[in-house]
């Protein structure tokens, strides 16, 4: 901190103008302020990478789900649809469908029993398999959302810490120089405000993106749950028709 005060005094007494650009503020900043700025900058870059990836992925999932539902409700055979999809589903709705169909084939490989208890067991297993797959897929989609929430909640306070540290340097410069001239305190205050601004730059997009993606994924989860319910109803009806 002492070195920072000396720098401020030197700048105050120099004839050359002080560089108040972002890079200039960073170069003159105290080590603690530099660490805060670097942490906030890295967090901001990471947040934007997550934001772009989530935006493109959620948008793509909506289109793929529309295409799959068109095929699913086209009136064709579910067995043929499952065979066309293969073992590598392209999106969560296909994953749920594939998991249910695999369990369906295993359960009906030896034919269907007229025992109501056995048919109920098949329905329960299929429903459980689809629910497990749904939870697993949503967990994957929600990955890194916690980081956005953390940055949104903590970045302003981290920036505030840098601000407080910069202002402490400015007050120490005043105490040593016994001069309240603005040139003495301006660099430290500018560095402090730079840390605050960067904290807000990191936090605001993170909070907005988190709220948007949380709402989008909640709607998508409801869509998947609706598909699970409809598919279970179809399989239940087929069980009853085959056992009749």
Q: Most confidently modeled of 83-87, 136-140, 227-231?
A: 136-140
**Mean pLDDT across the stretch 142-146?**
93
Within 8 A by CB and 6+ apart from 162, the residues are 32, 33, 36, 37, 40, 191, 192, 194, 195, 196, 199
pLDDT digits (tens, 9 = 90+) for 43-75: 999 999 999 999 999 999 999 999 998 888 887
Q: Are 1 and 170 in contact (CB under 8 A)?
A: no
pLDDT digits (tens, 9 = 90+) for 178-218: 666 666 666 667 777 888 888 999 999 999 999 999 999 99
Which pLDDT score, from 0 to 100, does residue 11 have? Answer: 43
User: Is residue 35 classed as helix, strand or coil in its secondary structure?
Assistant: helix
Q: At what angle do helices 31-72 and 145-177 cross, to 10 degrees?
A: 160
| Distance (Å, whole) CA 71 – CA 195 | 53
Q: At residue 26, does pLDDT exceed 70?
A: no
- CA angle 133-136-139, nearest 5°? 150
What number of residues does the chain have?
Answer: 244
Q: Is the pTM of this model over 0.75?
A: yes
Q: Most confidently modeled of 8-17, 44-53, 104-113, 170-179?
A: 44-53
Q: Give the DSSP H or E segment for 229.
A: helix 182-243
| Distance (Å, whole) CA 147 – CA 52 | 14
Q: At residue 112, does pLDDT exceed 70?
A: no
Residue whose entry in the numeric block shows the structure tokens 């949104």: 152
Phi and psi at 89, nearest 5°, equal: -65, 145
């Amino acid at each position: 901190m002492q070195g920072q005060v000396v720098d401020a005094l030197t700048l105050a007494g120099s004839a050359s103008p002080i560089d108040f650009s972002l890079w200039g503020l960073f170069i003159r900043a105290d080590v603690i302020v530099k660490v805060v700025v670097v942490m906030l900058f890295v967090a901001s870059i990471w947040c934007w990478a997550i934001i772009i990836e989530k935006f493109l992925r959620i948008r793509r999932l909506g289109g793929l789900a529309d295409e799959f539902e068109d095929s699913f409700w086209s009136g064709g055979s579910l067995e043929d649809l499952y065979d066309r999809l293969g073992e590598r589903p392209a999106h969560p709705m296909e994953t749920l469908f594939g998991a249910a169909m695999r369990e369906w084939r295993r359960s009906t490989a030896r034919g269907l029993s007229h025992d109501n208890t056995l048919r109920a067991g098949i329905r329960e297993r299929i429903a459980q398999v689809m629910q497990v797959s749904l939870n697993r897929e949503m967990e994957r989609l929600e990955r890194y959302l916690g980081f956005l929430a953390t940055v949104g909640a903590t970045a302003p306070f981290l920036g505030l810490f840098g601000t407080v540290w910069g202002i402490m340097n400015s007050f120490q410069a005043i105490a040593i120089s016994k001069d309240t001239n603005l040139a003495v305190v301006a660099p430290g205050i500018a560095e402090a405000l730079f840390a605050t601004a960067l904290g807000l730059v990191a936090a605001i997009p993170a909070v907005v993106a988190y709220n948007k993606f949380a709402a989008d994924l909640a709607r998508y989860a409801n869509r998947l749950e609706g598909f699970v319910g409809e598919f279970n109803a179809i399989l239940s009806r087929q069980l009853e028709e085959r056992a009749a």
